[in-house]
Structure formats: structure tokens, C-alpha cells
Amino acid sequence: MMPVIDTLITAITQIAAQSTEAERKSIARAIDDLRRRIDSLPSLSEDIQKAVDERRAKLEQAIIERSKKIP
């Protein structure tokens, strides 16, 4: 009887270990995916700076254009 129980416990232990390992790997993959997603979140300061610089360039260009038209 005892060897049967031992075998059963060993089998349960192996199944539990495999299941835990599979779950751990699955979570690790999900964390990696989320980490990549967060890393690719755009920087608001850089994007606002870019928009501001573009607007400034347009305004300066408009001033240059206007000054060219003055005889």
C-alpha cells in the first residue's frame, strides 16, 4: 500500500511543480509584454516640446514671409 501512496504523492508533486512552472513562465511572459508596452509609452514632455518647436518655426516663417512682402 505504501509504495502506491508514495508513487501517487510523487506524481502529484511533479504535476503541481509542472503546473506552477508553466504558470510562472506565463506570468513572466505577460510581465515582459507589459514592460515593453510601458517602455514604449510616448514621452509627453518630448512630444509637447516638438509641437511647440513646430509652431514657433511656423510663426517665424510667417514673419519672414511678411517681411519679404514689405517693399
The 18-57 site mask, x for binding other proteins (CB under 8 A), equals -xx--xx--xx-xx--xx-xxx-xxxxx-xx--xx--xx-
How would DSSP label each residue in 9-63? Answer: HHHHHHHHHHHHHHHHHHHHHHHHHHHHHHHTSPPHHHHHHHHHHHHHHHHHHHH
Maximal C-alpha separation, the chain: 109
The answer to the question of residue 11 lying near other proteins (CB under 8 A) is: no
Which residue in the set 12, 14, 18, 61 belongs to the binding site for other proteins (CB under 8 A)? 12
Residues near other proteins, by CB under 8 A? 2, 5, 9, 12-13, 16, 19-20, 23-24, 27-28, 30-31, 34-35, 37-39, 41-45, 47-48, 51-52, 55-56, 59
